[in-house]
Structure 1
Amino acid sequence: MKKYGLAIQIFIGLLLGIAVGAVFYGNPAVQTYLQPIGDIFLRLIKMIVIPIVVASIIVGVAGTGDMKKLGKLGGKTILYFEIVTTIAIVVGLLSANIFKPGSGVDMSELTKTDITKYVETTETTAQHSFVDTFVNIVPTNIFQALMNGEMLAIIFFSVLFGIGIAAIGEKGKPVLNFFKGTADAMFYVTNQIMKFAPFGVFALIGVTVSKFGVTSLIPLGKLILVVYGTMLFFVFVVLGGIAKMHGIAFFSMLKMLKDELILSFSTASSETVLPKLIEKMETFGCPKSITSFVIPTGYSFNLDGSTLYQALAAIFIAQMYGIHLPITEQITLMLVLMLTSKGIAGVPGVSFVVLLATLGTVGIPVEGLAFIAGIDRILDMGRTAVNVVGNSLSAAVISKWEGEFRPQKAIVHDVEKVS
């Protein structure tokens, strides 16, 4: 296997996993033997994400050390995220209205899936407003935030700590060197863990296919096609257009991120690629101070694939029940999604939780989600890959806005070397 690149190894793992899952469809032994392998891989990734984010942000910010500059960077980042996610919602709504994936769906053919856990999560976060999200950015206890994986709170603390290191000058250099060493060591550990990725992908996709089977996709085939078609349109037309406007080599970026895209798609987890994303976007020409801030923040505020899917799925359920939503109610839905998709950022199963929190506001039955929960994993794979592309591009665009994009770093042999 060593003679093949990581992308090919992951792809082989993906195909073998699908084959094993299809052959042993409905056999609980697949989950018994393969789930632990997939879980170990995901745990390995989660183990390294926070140390890398903390060390990278501290090193990047300490190198800048300018509070005013960081304030401007934060403002531009949030503005960009809001514009692009709003476009994603509009694209999702337009696609659902044009292709009508929910029209003519026979609900008697669909399998209902238990969505109790999502309902419980929605109830616990029902009072969690947009303002609360910003209040919770400030941690009361940084160690508790680290334990709970509260990414926004961790980013906030790391930024302040980086500014503090820069402010104390020479005294801060030993601390800065410690975090530089930590970042380098963790990137080495990441590269070692990634060698296990093909096995993790094989296990996770094998379990998924053995659970739902291929035949269960047929009744909702139109929804799957429309979701994937819309996501491809969004990536190549919308994000590709944004890249072209800013003079960013979009296809070179996608080629460089092929490993991460296949991995995020296969595992339906954008967390699995966060460390490598930061590293590769630096190679692409973005400064550490921007990649280490913009990409982790984007994981909470810039989920393009997720917001697009939420808009499309909401209209799909309305169409399935024969509910006509006038343009005024669709605008209301868009405005609510703009808030809820940010207000409950970082909640597990966020796309479903956002939909549960949103559908009722425009009179769409939330029970409709039980019909699409069974294929959510298939849709999640696509939206995760779109989230990764969107966040990678955001780092390049913000670097351009700041006048710090250095594309000459991203020469072909460097890209291949990182791959």
Structure 2
Amino acid sequence: MQRRFTLLILVAMILGVIVGHLCNQGAESAEAAKEIAGYFSIVTDVFLRLIKMIIAPLVFSTLVVGIAHMEDGASVGRVGMKTMIWFIGASAVSLVMGSIMVNLLQPGVGLDLPLPDAAQHADIATGGMSLKEFITHLVPRSIAEAMANNEILQIVVFSIFVGIALTQLGEKGRLVAQFADQLAHVMLKITGYVMMSAPIAVFAAVAATVTTQGLNILTVYGKFVGSFYLSLLMLWCVLVFAGFLVLRGRITGLVRAIREPTLLSFSTASSEAAYPKTLERLEEFGVPNRIASFVLPLGYSFNLDGSMMYCTFATLFIAQAYGIELTLAQQVTMCLLLMVTSKGMAGVPRASLVVIAATLAHFNIPEAGLLLVLAVDQFLDMGRSATNVVGNSVATAVVAKWEGQLTSTRDRIVAET
């Protein structure tokens, strides 16, 4: 079944490229191509809305059950501390690797493209989210509002309070936990229904992108796109190797387990779309629900490895394009700045671009340079979304191993029987 789903996704991507290219070539103008892509986007938008529909109740129910099954509040704090240690390390590695790779590959040097006028604006807010705003944003004003807006981090905070409270209520708490457990099973069943349409959504997403952008744009931006994907590949190797140091031989099983959600996030350019499938695959791999449902939602706010690498890579690419040299000290400062400012990415639309815009302004790099990366941002977003899934999956498995809770398939089958 897993192989069949993966094959369907791959076929859908290939067909999407072919159909998108034909539509791009057949369109009489850019406006006509955009109109055609709009019809494809209807399918993708509906699919992503279906995913968003189940994310909030799924995160809430699984996290509440997971915490309720932990012994006490100390267990929650211990798991949370181990999780944040990994996240901080992975974020630092992602930022530094982005800086190193862009300096080695120099994709912005000798760029054979007309540079946007430095006085132009990219029409993207540069404010982002300050540290003060991020801290206050952690706590929801209303759980209904947080769920309506799919504010995962706020849902996590509320769920932690509910889960800890249930551990203190004895029998009454167990009844509520059982209800949350049943709700989680219902949401996972709905997830199965939604995932049946995933190949169609993948086809539509790829076709829409190629229809508007065309394949020629990859030739024009070949060096930049190729350099970034090579950098992502190197980051994947580092993340998998770091996982190997903890998981040892089981890392190969983890890579196989997350193949589907990674491919799904890549083809839809959405980490969110892969969340339910990632959670399911991690549990099948042997990560207990109480660990997976706690670490994974946190990862969607604090451990976006692909997006973190893109922030330094794109910022320095723009600087290279304009012939602006940043000293080592400035690049170190940039990484430290992004370690803080990027943590609010999960709550901001077009998050990476917003953070990059703010960083450009901080180092007096023309904001108009964002126009250089906007043209291929959709293609790049596919890679960073997939990397986010890989990074969070490795982190979740590692934390489970540190807790001594990672089981084998055989152990899990015995426990269920």
TM-score (ref. length: structure 1): 0.92
Q: 2:94 aligns with which of 88, 95, 110?
A: 88
Unpaired runs of at least 5, structure 1: 415-419
Equivalent runs, 1:391-402 vs 2, <5 Å: 391-402=392-403
How many Å separate the matches in 1 of 2:241 and 2:331? 25
Equivalent runs, 1:161-310 vs 2, <5 Å: 161-236=162-237, 238-248=238-248, 249-310=250-311
How far did 1:401 drift?
1.8
How many Å separate the matches in 1 of 2:322 and 2:139? 42
- Are the structure 2 counterparts of residues 160 and 22 from structure 1 closer, same or farther at C-alpha, using a change threshold of 3 Å? same
- Are the structure 2 counterparts of residues 3 and 190 from structure 1 closer, same or farther at C-alpha, using a change threshold of 3 Å? closer
Unpaired runs of at least 5, structure 2: 28-32
- Kindly provide the amino acid, as one letter, of the partner of residue 339 in structure 1: V
Partner of 1:384: 385
Partner of 1:146: 147
How far did 1:292 drift?
0.5
The reply to whether residue 368 of structure 1 matches residue 364 of structure 2 is no
- Are the structure 2 counterparts of residues 203 and 51 from structure 1 closer, same or farther at C-alpha, using a change threshold of 3 Å? same
Please give the per-residue CA displacement for 1:203-234, whole angstroms capped at 9, x wherever unaligned: 11101000000112222110111100011111
- Kindly provide the amino acid, as one letter, of the partner of residue 148 in structure 1: N
How far did 1:349 drift?
0.7
Partner of 1:417: none
- Are the structure 2 counterparts of residues 5 and 353 from structure 1 closer, same or farther at C-alpha, using a change threshold of 3 Å? same
Q: Identity of paired residues, percent?
A: 38
Partner of 2:15: 16
- Are the structure 2 counterparts of residues 343 and 197 from structure 1 closer, same or farther at C-alpha, using a change threshold of 3 Å? closer
How far did 1:109 drift?
7.9
Equivalent runs, 1:39-78 vs 2, <5 Å: 39-78=45-84
The reply to whether residue 30 of structure 1 matches residue 36 of structure 2 is yes
Check the 8 A contact 2:116/2:369 in 1, yes or no. Answer: no
How many Å separate the matches in 2 of 1:111 and 1:366? 10
How far did 1:111 drift?
12
How far did 1:189 drift?
0.9
Partner of 2:124: 118
How many Å separate the matches in 2 of 1:40 and 1:140? 28
**Structure 1 counterpart SS, 2:326:** coil
Bigger shift: residues 297-306 or 340-349: 340-349
How many Å separate the matches in 2 of 1:33 and 1:343? 32
How many Å separate the matches in 2 of 1:74 and 1:3? 31
- How many residue pairs were aligned? 405
How far did 1:106 drift?
2.6
**Structure 1 counterpart SS, 2:247:** coil
- Kindly provide the amino acid, as one letter, of the partner of residue 176 in structure 1: A
Equivalent runs, 1:123-142 vs 2, <5 Å: 123=127, 125=128, 128-142=129-143
C-alpha RMSD of the superposition: 2.2
- Are the structure 2 counterparts of residues 305 and 174 from structure 1 closer, same or farther at C-alpha, using a change threshold of 3 Å? same
Partner of 2:30: none
Partner of 2:107: 101
- Are the structure 2 counterparts of residues 405 and 304 from structure 1 closer, same or farther at C-alpha, using a change threshold of 3 Å? same
**Structure 2 counterpart SS, 1:138:** coil
Partner of 1:345: 346
How many Å separate the matches in 1 of 2:201 and 2:114? 36
Moved over 6 A (4+): 109-112
